Structure 1
Amino acid sequence: MAAASNIRLTSTLTCPECGGLSDGEMPLDACQFFYDGPHCKVVLRPRAGECCVWCSFGSVPCPPIQTGKACCS
């Protein structure tokens, strides 16, 4: 389990459609189910069984997952 000071809030999303990369800051107080991709304009949604777009397409999982907690609960 990561300490609160070790939580990374910045992640790079990789678009599954075009491979475009987008840096973003993950929210601490909400799940992000949708993300408007700036490259090909596709709206990203979490893959089946995953909690948010950051866990599905990000280089770093969302803050709750980083700390060993359930996301979006």
Structure 2
Amino acid sequence: MTIYSSVPLEVVLNGLNEQPGPFVDIAVGGIRMQVEPLSPGIGRIVRLLECPLEAYLKPEYTPGTVIAYGARET
């Protein structure tokens, strides 16, 4: 792999060996998604797991969006 960048290699590879998570799979409005918990009942969307194709176009389901999920965990 070759990386061409003016940014120092330490900055580019920062966090490469860190483990992501923990993640929680939840269902909101019939859409299953993976969420990174921020506080009890609130999380940041990591990715959509099962949903209709049009859900990818809705800004409220964009990865990085903070949502409230309460007791709807699966």
Give the TM bin, normalised by the shorter chain: under 0.3
**TM-score for the superposition, normalised by structure 1:** 0.25
Higher relative contact order (CA 8 A, sep 6+): 1
